[in-house]
Structure 1
Amino acid sequence: MGMLELFMWMPLALAFLLSMGDESSSSFLPVDNYLLACGSPVDIHFQGRTFFRESVFETHALELKTQQESAAVTSDSGAPSPIYQSARIFWGRASYIFSIRQPGQHWIRLFFYPFPNSHQNLSSASITVIADSAVLLKDFTFTEYDHSYVFKEYAVNIPSPTLSLTFIPSGNSFVFVNAIEVVSVLSNLSVPNDFSLEHHSEVVLETAYRLDVGYKSLATRNDYLGRNWEGDETYLASNTRALDISVDPYYIHDNSESTIPAIAPKWVYATAKAIADARSPNLSWVFPANPNYRYFVRVHFCDVINITNFNLFINDVAYKRVDFLSKFRQFSVPHYLDFVVSTRGNNLRVSVAPDRTANSTNAILNGLEIMKVINQVRTLDRRTLSIIVKSIFGAVAFLVLTTVALYYLKAYRSRRASELPRFHAGFTLQEIREATNNFDQCLLLGEGGFGKVYEGTMDTGKKVAIKVANPHSRQGFQEFQNEIELLSKLSHQNLVSLIGCCNGDSQMILVYELLANGSLSGHLYGTNFVTLSWRQRLEICIGTAKGLHYLHTGAARSIIHRDVKTANILLNENFVPKLADFGISRKGPPLDKSHVTTLVKGSFGYLDPEYFRTKYLTEKSDVFSFGMVLMEVLCGKPALDDTRPTEHINLAKWASSFQEKGTFPEIIDPFLIGQVNLDSLNKVCKLAWKCLEESRKNRPPMGYVLFELEDALHLELASPLWQVYVHCAIDVVAENGINDEKEQDVA
C-alpha cells in the first residue's frame, strides 16, 4: 500500500475505532471506500467520517471527465452541515470514473443541497444521474424540497473494475452535486431468488426507509458504514400498543449467519418494540409507497425479552413464522429476513403479531429496511444527439428488427419445440415410456382437459407424475408452451414443481413432482376418499390462498390462474397443497389497466359470471373460483353434479337457496358436525359468500382471503374440544327444537 493510500484510510479507520467500541466486527472495512467532498478545497469531517477533497483521489483512483467546464462553489451560510457547504457544478455531461478493487454490490450515496449562490440559482437545476447503465435519477428537480437538502442512497452491482457515475443536465439546465460515496456493501443485499425477478445481478435498490425500532429519538443515527437509521415513531400505526425495549448492546450475541455490524450495528438489535397490551392483536408500521414498484424488505429481529415465536405480516398477509429458539437455541441472537413485495395501494404495511397457534402472547421487531427495486434499465432521452444520428439509428434498428422477426417466424413454423425454455430437463420419449412401463393403464392417475396423467419412475428411482397430451384435446401446443414458460419463472411452496418436458415425435409431455395424496376433490367426494378434518381443510385452503396470492402479487405483473378448482389442488404426503395446471393461465392487467379482455376459458361451475358475460379477466376471477373451492370444502360436494336433481346440480345456486332461507347449516358436510369450532366455520362461510359476489368490485383480494382463513384456523385451534361439542349441542337445540332427552344425548 502506497503512502497516499495509507493517508486515505487513516481518518476513516481512526473514526471507526473511536466510535464502535465493543463491536465484534471492528476489523471489517470496505475494500472500496470513496468519500468525496465535491468542490471542497479541504477535507470535511461529517458524521464521524472524513470526506476527502477531489484532488486526494485524482490520478490513482478517480478520473473526472467533462464535456464542458465545471466549477467548484462554496457557501458558509444556511447549509445544514459542513458536507453541504461545497458543490461542483457541471453545465454539460460529466462523469466521475472510480477504480473498483472489489467488483460486486456497492453503496452509491449522493448529497444535494441548493445553497444560495450569487452566481448560480442551484435550486433551478434539473439532474439525471446514471451509474454505468442504471438510471438512478431522471430529470430530478428541487421544486418539492423547499430548499432543504436531498440525500439519495442506492445499492448497485458493479461487475467491472471501474464505475462511471455520470451527471447529465436536462435541456439548457445544469447539474451539481455536493458529495458522493462509493462504498463496498459488506452484507448481502441480493434479491431472493424465489421472487421471479429477471437479471438479479442488474437489480438496483434505492433506500426508502431504514428504522432503528425502539430508538426513542426522531434524530437519525449514522453507523460507521454510512447508513442512516431513524426512529420508528413516525410510521407506527398505533403507539398505544407499543412498548419500547432497550438493552445493553454488550449482551447481543454474534450470529454466524449475520456479520455484525455489516448487517446492522448492535445498537439496532439492542432496541425494539413489543406489544404493550396483551389484548392488542398486533403492532403495525405503515409507509407511503409507490404502487408502480416492488420493494425489497429486510426485517431485523433479536429476542431480547425471551419471546420464542410470533408471526410477521407484510401488507396484512402472513409472510413468516419467526421462531428464535428452534433456530438458535439461545436468546439475544440477531436474525434478519429478506422479502420482495408488491403493493397495489399507496401504502406498505409491516406487522408483527403473536402466534396464536403456539400460545404466543407477544411479538417483537428491532429494525426494518425498505428499498425500492429498480429492475429495468430505463432509456434516456439523448437530447444532445443530432437528428441525423437518430434517423440512422432508427433505420438500422428497423432493418435489424425486421430481419430478426422474419427469422423467428420461419423458425417457429419449422421447429416449434425450439421455442421451449431450455432450463428444464428434456426427456426423450423412450425415457418416458420406460418410466411409465409403456403407459401402463395400471399407472394411470387421472385424466383432464390436456390429457392423461400417469405415475412414473425415472431411472434415478424418483417418482414423478407424467402428463401426456391428448392429440384430440382442445388444449394444444399453446397451453403446453404456456405451462412450461410460467412454471419456469415461478417458485413457491404451494405451486406444483415442473421437473421437465418432452416434445419428441410430435408428443407433448410434461413431467411434474408426484404428489402422493392426489387432489383435494378426491378427498372431499372422490371414490374411496379419506375424509379431512376441519383443521386439515383450513390448512389446505390457506396454502392454496398463499399460492394464489403469490401469483397475483409476487411478480411485476400479476398472473391469473383461470382454472382454480379442487381437482387442480394437489396434496403431497403431508397434505401440503400445491396449485397445478397452468395451461390456460395468463398475465393480468398492467397497473394502469383494470382488466384484460380475453376469450373465456375455465371450468364450468367455477367460472366468474362477470368474466363470462364481459370477457373482462381480473385477479378477482380467481377469487370467485376460490370461493367455489371454499363452498366444496364446507359442503363436501362437487361444484357441478348432474347426478343430483336439476335444482341441485349447481352447488352455488343450491347453497344460495339454503342461505336465503337461513338454513345453510343443513347443507354443511355431515362429517363436520360436532367436529368443528362454529366461530371458525361461520367465518369461512361468510368469506365464501364474499368471494362469490356477482360483481368483482365486491369480492375481496386474495390477501384479505388469506388473512381471514388464517384467523379461522386460529379460532379452530384456540377452542378446546369440549367447547366444540357444547356449542354444537346448543346450536342443534336452537335450530331443530330437540327435546331434553335428545339434548342430554348430544351433550
Structure 2
Amino acid sequence: MMGMGLILLIWVSTTMCLINVSLEFDPVDNYLIDCGSHTKTPVGDRVFVADGLNSDVLSTPQNTFVNTKSKPISSTIDLALYQTARILYGTSHYTFAIKKHGRHWIRLYFFPFVDGNYNLSTAKFSVLAQDFTLLRDFQPQNGSVVKEYSLNITSDNLVLTFTPFANSFAFLNALEILSLPDELIPDGAKTIGPLVKNQSVLTRALETVARVNMGNQTVSPQNDTLWRFWVSDETYLNHVNFVNFVSKIGAVNYSMKWPTRNVAPSFVYGTATTLNSQLDPSTLVNVTWFFPVDPGFDYLVRFHFCDIVSKTPGQLFFNVYINSWLVAMNLDLSILTSNILGTPYVLDVVTSSSYSVFLNVSISPSNVGNTYPNIILNGLEIMKLSDSRGSLAVRDSKGNSKKKIWVILSIAIGVLFIAMFSALVLFVVCRRRRRSSPVDHSTEDHFAINGGGISEPMENKYASGTAIISSSKIGYRFPFVAIQEATNNFSESLVIGVGGFGKVYKGVLRDETVVAVKRGISQSQQGLAEFRTEIEMLSQFRHRHLVSLIGFCHERNELIIIYEYMENGTLKDHLYGLDVPCLSWRQRLEICIGSARGLHYLHTGSTNAVIHRDVKSANILLDENLMAKVADFGISKAGPEIDETHVSTAVRGSFGYLDPEYLTRQQLTEKSDIYSFGVVMLEVLSGRPVIDPSLSREMVNLVEWAMEWEKKGELEKITDPRLMGKINPDSLCKFGETAVKCLAERGIDRPTMGDVLWNLECALKLQGNDEKRPDLNGDLALETGVSTTQFNVGSVSNLEGVSMSRVFSQMVKAENRWTETG
C-alpha cells in the first residue's frame, strides 16, 4: 500500500508540474541578460545569461564591469541580478534580432550601488528604443528599480540606445526583451475625460506605472505566466477601514476565451478588495486608491474584476470612477460573464492627467437592486502612453530652455532695442505736444468685469493724480503701481491675514477708499485657477452678506484681488485667538444669520446653485457694525444641473469642516456647505477652534466632542463659558438643534440653507428683545406689509404650527430687494 501511495504521489506531482509548464507562456523572442556578469544567473525557472566581454548584442566604446556584495533594501526579483553591472561610456547600442513582430516587453534593472571607484548613483543618461524615448537624463538614486515598457515592434531588429549625459556615464544591471501574447494589449479602449490626445494604443509605447493586486496580497513573478510582480493595494488605499480583503483563489473560473491567464493569473482574480461589511448599509461610500503619475500624459488603466463574493449572479452592482470621471455606472459583472461566478472580466480605459500628480480610482456601491451594497476590485494596472513626440519621459523645461537660450536671447535683444527706440520717439512726440497744447491727462486701460466676463477696456485716470476708480468702485482692473502705492509697497506692517492663496494687506487708494488686497503667492496653475474663479464668482453676484469685489490685477505675474475692507476682521478672530471683546449671544446669532443669508443667496440666487466649498469661521468677515459677509470664493463650484443630483469633483476644503459624505464619495452638493456651516455654528456656540490638540483626547475634535454631549441631551455643556447665564434656554435649544441637523452624516438628512436661516431667526426671537436690532423683520414690515408680531414666539413648541414656506417666501422677497439695491 505504501508503495502504491508513493507512486500515486509521484504521478500527481509530475502531473501538476506538467500542468504548470503548459500554463506558462513561451515567448518566441526571449532575451534575458545579467549585465556585467561572467556566469549564468538562475532566477526562479528562468536563466539570465552573462553578457561577458564579447557580447554579440552590445556595441559600446568601452567595456567596464563592476560588482558589489551590497543588497538593495527591497527588491521584487532575485537579488543576484543586482550584484553586477555594466558601465557604458559614450553612446552604446544593444541590438536584438526580432523573430515575431508585435508587442514586446523591455525590462531594465537598475541598482545604484557603490563599488571601488564607481558610485552608480552619479550616473545620468537617456535610453531610446527605436523611435521612442524611454528615459531622459535618468538618475537612479534610491534602491533598486525595474523599468518596464511595452513596444509594438514592426522591424526585424530592436535597438536600445544608451546615451550618457555630458561628463557622466550610463549603467545597467540586467535586462529582458520578451515577445508578448497578442491578446495582452488592446488596440483601443474606452476614453474618459476631454484631454485624451490619441485614442489609439496600438502605435504607442507604454510604461508600467502601477501593477496592483487587490486583497492586500502580493503576487510574485513565479506565480505569473508572464513573470510580472503585483504589489499589494493597501498602501494606495485612501481609507483602509472602509474595506475588507477577500481571498478565494479556487473560485476563479477561466470559462471565457478572454481574459486568459496571460492577462492576469488566478492569484490576482482570486483576491479582492470589497466594502467593509461592518459599515451601515445606508452609507454609500467610495473606496479610493491614489497613484502617483506624471502630469501631461495619457494613461491606459486596466481594471481586473472577478466576482468571488456573490452566492448567486446578479447581486453585485457598483460604479467605477477615474479622477471623478464616471467610467461605468451600475456595473453588473454577471451580465458581462454569462452569469458564471468567478469568471474574470477586464475593463480598459484611456484617460489623461493634465496637472495633477495623482490619478485616483474609485469604486462605489450602486443603489440598484435590494441587495446589500458592495463593491469589488481584484486588480489594477496603470500604463503611461507615449506622447506626440514618442516620449515617455517627463519634459525637462529647463533643458529645453537651455537649448533655445541663444534664440530667445537674440529675440529679446531685438525686442528691447525696438522698445527703447519706440520709447524715445514717443517721449519726443509727447514733449512737443505738451509745449503746444493744454495738459492732456494720460490714461491707463482697465477692465470692468460684469456677469463673470471681462468687458472692453474703459478709461481710468491714474497718472494725472486723479482717482483710480469711479464712484461705483466695482470690478476694475488696477495697475500694479497703484496697488504698490496703496499698500506702501506691500509693507509687512499692513498684513491683516495670511491664507493658502497668499497674504492679505490693508490698503488705501488715492480717493481714500480703504481696501483689502489679497496677493497670490505665485503664478501657479492652482493659484491662477482660484484667482479666476474668485473674480468670476464675485463679479456676477452682489449681496450685502457677500464680500464685494473692488478690482484685481493680473500684471507682472502677479495675482491680486482687491475687496472692500472689513474693519473687524474674521469671525474666527472674535471667537478665539485675539484679545478682543467677547461677542454677546445676540451678536453671534446675528452673524450666523448674516452668513446664512449670504450662503442662501449663493445656493438659490441663480439657475445653478453656487457651492462655496470652504465655509469656515475664517472666511466670514465682519464690518465696522459686525455685519457678517461671506468671503473667499477661490474654490467655489457651480452646483449640479436641474436634472442632476450632485457634482463629481476632487475634494477641496479645510480640515475639520469637510462634509464626510463629500470626502468619501467625492460628490459635491449644496448640503456640503450646510455641513461646514454646522461646524461654524458649533464654533460660535463653544468659542473654541474646530481642532485643538492642546485639549484632552476626547475634546480635540469639536464636532466629535459636541456630538457626544448631544447624545446625552446636554449640548449646553459645550457652551462658551463667557456666555453662561446669558442665553435663553429656548434659544440655545433651537440653535443647537439646527446645528446638529446640519451635521447629519447623509446630505439628504440635512436642512437647506433656507431652513437654517429660518431656524436662526427663530433662535434670535427666542433670545428676546433686550436689544433693538434693525434686522430682517423691520424691513419685512416696511416692504411687505406683514406684521412682525405674527412671528413672535415664546418657546420652541410654539413654532410647530407656523407655516415656514409662507413666511420665509416673504423673507426671500425682501432679500431680493436688498440684492437689487445693495
Q: Name 2:322's counterpart in structure 1.
A: 314
- SS of 1:698 mapped into structure 2: coil
Q: Which whole-Å deviations, capped at 9, do the CAs of 1:285-322 have from their partners, x for residues lacking one?
A: 22233334343211111011124210112223432122
Which of 369, 374, 378 is 1:366 aligned to?
Answer: 378
**1:220·1:230 contact (CA, 8 Å) conserved in 2?**
no
**2:252·2:343 contact (CA, 8 Å) conserved in 1?**
no
Q: Which whole-Å deviations, capped at 9, do the CAs of 1:631-690 have from their partners, x for residues lacking one?
A: xxxxxxxxxxxxxxxxxxxxxxxxx9x976969999999xxxxxxxxxxxxxx8464999
Which of 615, 629, 647 is 1:705 aligned to?
Answer: 647
Which of 44, 58, 69 is 2:62 aligned to?
Answer: 69
- SS of 1:228 mapped into structure 2: coil
- SS of 1:40 mapped into structure 2: coil
Q: Which whole-Å deviations, capped at 9, do the CAs of 1:12-65 have from their partners, x for residues lacking one?
A: xxxx99779569x72642232221212222221124322122379966xxx322
**2:336·2:345 contact (CA, 8 Å) conserved in 1?**
no
Q: Give the RMSD, CA atoms, in angstroms.
A: 5.3
Distance 1:221 1:663, change over 3 A: same
1:286 aligns with 2:290: yes
1:268 aligns with 2:280: no
Q: Name 1:525's counterpart in structure 2.
A: none
Distance 1:319 1:665, change over 3 A: closer
Which of 89, 94, 97 is 2:95 aligned to?
Answer: 97
Distance 1:122 1:350, change over 3 A: same
Distance 1:343 1:607, change over 3 A: farther
Between the aligned partners of 1:666 and 1:29, the Cα distance in structure 2 is: 65
Cα deviation for residue 735 of structure 1 reads: 2.1
Q: Name 1:303's counterpart in structure 2.
A: 307
TM-score, length of structure 2 as denominator length? 0.46
Cα deviation for residue 218 of structure 1 reads: 9.4
**1:255·1:335 contact (CA, 8 Å) conserved in 2?**
no
Matched AA of 1:212: N
Cα deviation for residue 231 of structure 1 reads: 1.0
Matched AA of 2:225: Y
Distance 1:713 1:661, change over 3 A: closer
Between the aligned partners of 1:86 and 1:235, the Cα distance in structure 2 is: 32
Q: Which whole-Å deviations, capped at 9, do the CAs of 1:99-151 have from their partners, x for residues lacking one?
A: 122222221110012333224332321121111121111112234x1xx2121
Q: Name 2:761's counterpart in structure 1.
A: none
Matched AA of 1:234: T
Cα deviation for residue 695 of structure 1 reads: 7.5
Q: Name 2:148's counterpart in structure 1.
A: 153
Between the aligned partners of 1:83 and 1:57, the Cα distance in structure 2 is: 19
Cα deviation for residue 240 of structure 1 reads: 1.6
Matched AA of 1:84: Y
Distance 1:241 1:250, change over 3 A: closer
Q: How does 1:442-457 map to 2 (within 5 A)?
A: none
Q: Name 1:175's counterpart in structure 2.
A: 170
The aligned length equals 452
Between the aligned partners of 2:541 and 2:114, the Cα distance in structure 1 is: 64
Between the aligned partners of 1:607 and 1:662, the Cα distance in structure 2 is: 12
Q: How does 1:88-237 map to 2 (within 5 A)?
A: 88-143=86-141, 145=142, 148-186=143-181, 187-190=184-187, 192=189, 194=191, 196-198=196-198, 200-216=201-217, 223-237=224-238
Identity, in percent, stands at 29
The structure whose Rg is larger is: 2
Distance 1:661 1:368, change over 3 A: closer
Which of 325, 337, 350 is 1:328 aligned to?
Answer: 337
Distance 1:374 1:702, change over 3 A: farther
Q: Name 1:350's counterpart in structure 2.
A: 361
**2:210·2:383 contact (CA, 8 Å) conserved in 1?**
yes
Cα deviation for residue 696 of structure 1 reads: 6.5
Between the aligned partners of 1:128 and 1:347, the Cα distance in structure 2 is: 25
Which of 20, 44, 69 is 2:41 aligned to?
Answer: 44
Q: Which moved more, 1:282-291 or 1:108-117?
A: 282-291
- SS of 1:261 mapped into structure 2: coil
- SS of 2:528 mapped into structure 1: coil
Cα deviation for residue 359 of structure 1 reads: 4.3
- SS of 2:268 mapped into structure 1: helix
Structure number with higher relative contact order (C-alpha < 8 Å, ≥ 6 residues apart) = 1
Cα deviation for residue 245 of structure 1 reads: 0.7
Q: Which whole-Å deviations, capped at 9, do the CAs of 1:372-416 have from their partners, x for residues lacking one?
A: 3331435999xxxxxxxx99xx9xxxxxxxxxxxxxxxxxxxxxx
Distance 1:156 1:695, change over 3 A: farther
TM-score, length of structure 1 as denominator length? 0.50
- SS of 2:648 mapped into structure 1: helix
**2:269·2:305 contact (CA, 8 Å) conserved in 1?**
yes
**2:612·2:633 contact (CA, 8 Å) conserved in 1?**
no
Q: Which whole-Å deviations, capped at 9, do the CAs of 1:549-594 have from their partners, x for residues lacking one?
A: xxxxxxxxxxxxxxxxxxxxxxxxxxxxxxxxxxxxxxxx996993
Between the aligned partners of 2:801 and 2:94, the Cα distance in structure 1 is: 76
Q: Which moved more, 1:282-291 or 1:125-134?
A: 282-291
Q: Which moved more, 1:193-202 or 1:77-86?
A: 193-202
Q: Which runs of 5+ in 1 are unaligned?
A: 1-15, 382-389, 395-588, 617-655, 670-683, 721-729, 739-747
Cα deviation for residue 737 of structure 1 reads: 7.3
Q: Which whole-Å deviations, capped at 9, do the CAs of 1:229-270 have from their partners, x for residues lacking one?
A: 011111122222211111133642332231x22211111000
